[in-house]
Structure 1
Amino acid sequence: MIVKGGSPAIHKLGDIRREEDELIIVKSETEDHFIGNFVEGFGFMEVKYQKSDCRPLLPSEIEKLNNSRIGLGGIIYKLQVDSEGYPIQTDEKERQ
């Protein structure tokens, strides 16, 4: 899911909103909120996002993510996501 830039992102420490649209991972939901975390950042968990402030990924955003690579500990992993932006496990990796 994508949370629209400038939308509230409520954490127990306060509002941690971002000014740009951001990819989020949803862990659970209530009637009015998705609960999860930003994919990138400081690792704040259990953040509440209003459902009306979220949208599914566009096909172009999925394509961009699926053409991305992430480097961790000297290994480069090819990123693959499903239509909602959740990572798909692949074994494709390269050593730096």
Structure 2
Amino acid sequence: MLIQAPTLFAIAAFFASGVIGNPIKNGVESGNGIVAAREISIATSPDYACRCPNNCDYNDGHSCKFYDGTSDSDPIASGRCHYNKDHELTCMK
């Protein structure tokens, strides 16, 4: 019985780490059977909407969203990622 408790704990920890480390993307199954609603991320600026740390894989033409003001209660602006005059990706309405 003494060996069973640590073994059960190790198995439970292993499965829990899989659930925690496997995020649900776009409201689809995450690999372990869990389905959830899509989480929408809105950037705080047009620059962060197309660049790291949030969207490092975005390229020219990607759709993007950001808060059109200084607060997350401001309206949400939608646009496309394009290179600005400094050759940096930014979200343009």
Q: If each structure's strand is expressed as a fraction of its own residues, which one has the higher value?
A: 1
Please give the TM-score of this superposition, normalised by the length of structure 1. Answer: 0.25
* Larger gyration radius, structure 1 or structure 2: 2
Please give the TM-score of this superposition, normalised by the length of structure 2. Answer: 0.25
